[in-house]
Amino acid sequence: MADTITPNVVVSMPSQLFTLARSLKAAANGKIYIGKIDTDPTIPENQIQVYIHNEDDSLVPIAQPIVINTGGYPVYGGQISKFVTVEGHSMAVYDALNVQQFYFPNVLRYDPDQLRQQLSAPGGDKLVGSTFYGSVYDSYLPSLYRRNGNMGNGVTITSRRQAFFYTVDGFYYTYSGTLPHNAVETAPTSEYVCVGLLNGADVNTPENFGAVGDGVADDTKAVQLLFNSKLAHMKASGTYKLANQARSSGGYDSYMAYNYVLRINGFAGMMDLTQATLIMPGGVPRITAIDILNSSGSIKLPKIIGNMQQTSMPSMYIDDCGVRIGANCKNLYVFSPGIDHYPGHGIVVRHYIQDGVPTLDDGIPYDITIVAKLMRHCWQSGIVPITGDTIRIRDFDVQYSGSLENLNGQVATIGHNIHTESVAGAGGVNNRLRNIWVQDGNGFNARMHGLMAHTAIDNLNVMNNNFRFNGLDGGRFEAAAHKINSYGNHYSNNGGRGVTFNCGSLTSAGYPLLQHAASFNDVIESNGADGFTDLSGSKALVVSGNIGLNAGNGITLQEGGEQSLSNLNIYNNGKGATETKYAINGGASSYSNVRIYNSAPEVNIQRAFNFRARSRIANVIVDANSTGFDVLDGHPAYFPANDGLLRLSGTFGTIIGRRMLVNPKGAGGWLMPDTFDYIGISFTASADMFFPNPSSSNLFAQFSLELLTGSITATVKVQTGTVNGTTQFAVSAGHVYSLRYTTLTNLQVTQIS
């Protein structure tokens, strides 16, 4: 079947006649060549078919060139004719002397039949521009909204999808009040919601609200209008420059985050802005990028560039931050793909009275999950929960908090990667931060601590994190606290201690003094000071895990505490030290299932123990390089009660199971134990031995005391009660005595050899 020929292009010059190039004279007896676009049409293989279009619409193909008569018209057989072709073409015009007068590489600039085919093919609507925005295709895409004309047109509104155009600002609005409603308002009221330009851009993007997204134009208004729309599925992919809103601090305390740029209020849905970037204005030290209030669902934030390098920072603590999660946020997931060089904190969870709540006991953020990646160089701390209940900080990557990379090099008062900072009084009064999980994240290179748990702690769970290479401690717990669980973390390579525990008591919640219900089971290695230090004197602190290669002691325990160490490996501490360090610098503690070793004593100056209070030991294994021990002030009372398997030898004596040999003591009063079967001791001067007072805990306890040959006479005493019914009993060298607590008030001493 022959191809259908559609004659729709007339072969002609832009003018009526074919003339010479440099005069208005007709190109008499000249020739016209028609060829493929951008080719030389005088070459036969480049030529395309030309037709004569007769009056009866018949088409007659002709050969080239086309002849120009003396009047300047193209003719065929001497007759002026209408010449046509079916496609765009090149044209060359020559004079009678065969000199080229004109050459057009593409006469029409488009291919008529091809264009017709493209327009009629699927997707052709995308080639035709629209009056509204983009293409015709964009204009009739299925949309959340239907244009219903201008505001005030009196249309009855029956659907939230009906949108009305406000000519003053160029935006469309939908009605959020009670339906049906007669649209008589000529301007938006509080019941109307701006839904953008409806310009063909996705309605749930900043571009629908006028954003340019090039990082140069100010897109603050457009992004805020998108947030105000409360669309259920927001998204963005541009780079949006924000401007300082210079909001007043009236009604806020000086440190509060009052000057926000954007606010997400009342959102309930899914928002994914992770492909977008917000650029903060430089030179503004008191500014918060995004405030989130009264929201739930999933908010995936854009990356935030803080531009702190261009900003001179103040010399005070501030709440300003990249993102604040405030009042009445609940069941909310917040994801941050990155916050860089922010002039404040990274993310803060804290509500204010100014958020619109009656009291701070109302609107406490609840059930908040925060995932933060690539948080770098915040001036203060990284992620900071201050008020909230059930806050989960997980899968985080926070580094270089407390950064000095600001214009004036100002040092912030704090600088921690993760920082719980309850606003509470003594004993946790008015504490509004509880049930916190910090898990599966990295907190590296903070100027101060990797993790700082401060002020008040009520159920803090720290699990499977890496707190490493921080300037001070890997983790510091310093608060009125109850229930702390640290498990599976790596507190290592920090400039100070691996972990510092310095907690008071959450007495305001009714918990007993120093009963912290705290447990640690972590790897604590290669820190610049002690591995783990308890400064609190806790009565309920359990430490397990692996602690080694620290420059200071493996563990230091406040001597007045009653801590428990169990299921613990302690090794190679005192690394590179110039003075004696200890695997355990202990207090009134209990130790069970503990292994202590030192595989490189020439490098690690580690003794096994420094006993500074009465302690108990069971199933403790000490290698040959770690048998040394010390006791506080040399008191034999601090030789630890044990399961009979302990073997230690040091400056003050030797322990072989339940037998102890005390090196010679001088004059004075010496505290003695009642937990060994045999005590061998000598004195170089007259001295008093003070044994534990008679009580129900040692009633009928019996043991041997030998005053070794060559010793000076000493006395046996108790501070409360009697010895042999009186105040004291003298013992002399070369004799063995039996000591037995015979009543609740008396210690009986009997010479047996």
The model's pLDDT over 488-528, given as tens digits with 9 standing for 90+, comes to: 999 999 999 999 999 999 998 888 899 999 999 999 999 99
Verify that 167 and 184 share a domain, yes or no.
yes
pLDDT in tens, 361-396: 999 999 999 999 999 999 999 999 999 999 999 999
Q: What letter represents residue 120's amino acid?
A: S
Does 380 fall in a domain?
no
pLDDT of 326 > 60? The answer is yes
Does 16 fall in a domain?
yes
Does 103 fall in a domain?
yes
Q: How far apart are CA 619 and CA 606, in angstroms?
A: 20
Does 346 fall in a domain?
no
Domain count, the chain: 4
Verify that 105 and 144 share a domain, yes or no.
no
pLDDT in tens, 254-296: 999 999 999 999 999 999 999 999 999 999 999 999 999 999 9
Which class for 480: exposed (0-12), middle (13-18), buried (19 or more C-beta within 10 A)? buried
**What's the confidence (pLDDT) of residue 380?**
98
Residue tagged 């990284």 (tokens): 382
Reading the block at residue 75, the tokens are: 């003719």
Percent of the chain with pLDDT over 70: 95
Verify that 95 and 130 share a domain, yes or no.
no
Three-state SS for 508? helix
pLDDT in tens, 202-230: 999 999 999 999 999 999 999 999 999 98
Using omega within 30 degrees of 0 as the cis cutoff, is the peptide bond preceding 65 cis? yes
**What's the confidence (pLDDT) of residue 7?**
64
pLDDT of 125 > 90? The answer is no
DSSP state of 19: B
**What's the confidence (pLDDT) of residue 207?**
96
What is the average pLDDT value for the chain, to the nearest integer? 93
Q: How far apart are CA 695 and CA 673, in angstroms?
A: 14
Three-state SS for 26? strand
Verify that 90 and 160 share a domain, yes or no.
no
Q: Name the pairing type of β-strands 83-85 and 50-53.
A: antiparallel
Sheet holding 647-650, edge to edge: 647-650, 653-656, 659-662, 678-681, 702-707, 735-741, 746-751, 722-723
Three-state SS for 499? strand
Number of Cβ within a 10 Å radius of residue 316: 11
DSSP state of 575: B
Q: Which of 169, 196, 223 is the last residue of a domain?
A: 196
pLDDT of 118 > 80? The answer is no
Q: How far apart are CA 699 and CA 174, in angstroms?
A: 86
Reading the block at residue 529, the tokens are: 């000071």
Residue numbers of the domain that contains 144: 122-196
Does 315 fall in a domain?
no
**What's the confidence (pLDDT) of residue 15?**
44
pLDDT in tens, 700-727: 999 999 999 888 999 999 999 999 999 9
pLDDT of 115 > 80? The answer is no
Verify that 740 and 668 share a domain, yes or no.
yes
- Contacts of 4 by beta carbon, 8 Å cutoff, 6+ apart: none
Torsion 527-531-537-539 (CA) sign: positive
**What's the confidence (pLDDT) of residue 27?**
86
Convert 630-668 to b/e letters by CB count within 10 Å (16 or more is b). Answer: bbbebbbbbbbbbeeebebebebbbbeebebbbeebeee
Using omega within 30 degrees of 0 as the cis cutoff, is the peptide bond preceding 337 cis? no
Verify that 149 and 105 share a domain, yes or no.
no
Q: What Cα–Cα distance (Å) separates residue 657 from each residue in 48, 436, 595, 653, 675?
A: 111, 44, 16, 13, 11
pLDDT band at 4 (very low <50, low <70, confident <90, very high): low
pLDDT of 2 > 70? The answer is no
Does 426 fall in a domain?
no
Reading the block at residue 602, the tokens are: 């020439």
Percent of the chain with pLDDT over 90: 81
Q: 225 — phi, psi (to 5°)? A: -65, -35
CATH at 66: 2.170.14.10
- Contacts of 452 by beta carbon, 8 Å cutoff, 6+ apart: 381, 414, 416, 418, 419, 420, 421, 475, 476, 478
pTM for the model:
0.81
pLDDT band at 425 (very low <50, low <70, confident <90, very high): confident
Q: How far apart are CA 610 and CA 429, in angstroms?
A: 37
- Contacts of 578 by beta carbon, 8 Å cutoff, 6+ apart: 605
Verify that 105 and 156 share a domain, yes or no.
no
Does 186 fall in a domain?
yes
Q: Which of 79, 113, 147 is the last residue of a domain?
A: 113
Cα distance from N-terminal residue to C-terminal residue, the chain: 134
pLDDT of 14 > 70? The answer is no
Reading the block at residue 238, the tokens are: 């541009």
Length of the chain: 753
Does 656 fall in a domain?
no
CATH at 151: 2.10.10
pLDDT band at 539 (very low <50, low <70, confident <90, very high): very high
Over residues 737-748, the mean pLDDT reads 98
Torsion 698-703-708-713 (CA) sign: positive
CA 720 to chain centre: 58
pLDDT in tens, 45-93: 999 999 998 888 888 999 999 999 988 889 988 888 888 888 889 999 9
DSSP state of 3: P
Verify that 692 and 607 share a domain, yes or no.
no
CATH at 691: 2.60.120
CA gyration radius for the chain?
44
Verify that 109 and 13 share a domain, yes or no.
yes
**What's the confidence (pLDDT) of residue 144?**
79
Q: Which of 618, 645, 672 is the last residue of a domain?
A: 645
Which class for 539: exposed (0-12), middle (13-18), buried (19 or more C-beta within 10 A)? middle
**What's the confidence (pLDDT) of residue 315?**
93
Q: What angle do CA 641, 642, 647 make, to 5 degrees?
A: 115
| Span of 315-324, 340-349, 654-663, 705-714 with lowest mean pLDDT | 705-714
pLDDT in tens, 540-563: 999 999 999 999 999 999 998 999
**What's the confidence (pLDDT) of residue 139?**
57
Alpha helices in 121-174 (DSSP H): 136-139
Q: Closest Cα partner for 350 from 374, 315, 308, 321?
A: 321
Verify that 678 and 712 share a domain, yes or no.
yes
State which H helix or E strand residue 221 sits in: helix 220-229
pLDDT in tens, 460-481: 999 999 999 999 999 999 999 9
Q: Please answer whether residues 495 and 448 qualify as being in contact, where contact means their C-beta atoms are separated by less than 8 angstroms.
A: no
Q: How far apart are CA 202 and CA 165, in angstroms?
A: 17
Verify that 641 and 710 share a domain, yes or no.
no
pLDDT of 142 > 70? The answer is no
Q: Closest Cα partner for 743 from 689, 690, 701, 688?
A: 701
**What's the confidence (pLDDT) of residue 136?**
63
Q: Name the pairing type of β-strands 532-534 and 504-505.
A: unpaired
Three-state SS for 169? coil
Q: Closest Cα partner for 496 from 543, 455, 449?
A: 449
Verify that 68 and 141 share a domain, yes or no.
no
Q: Please answer whether residues 216 and 241 qualify as being in contact, where contact means their C-beta atoms are separated by less than 8 angstroms.
A: yes
pLDDT band at 132 (very low <50, low <70, confident <90, very high): very low
DSSP state of 724: T
**What's the confidence (pLDDT) of residue 677?**
98
Number of Cβ within a 10 Å radius of residue 275: 13
pLDDT of 538 > 60? The answer is yes
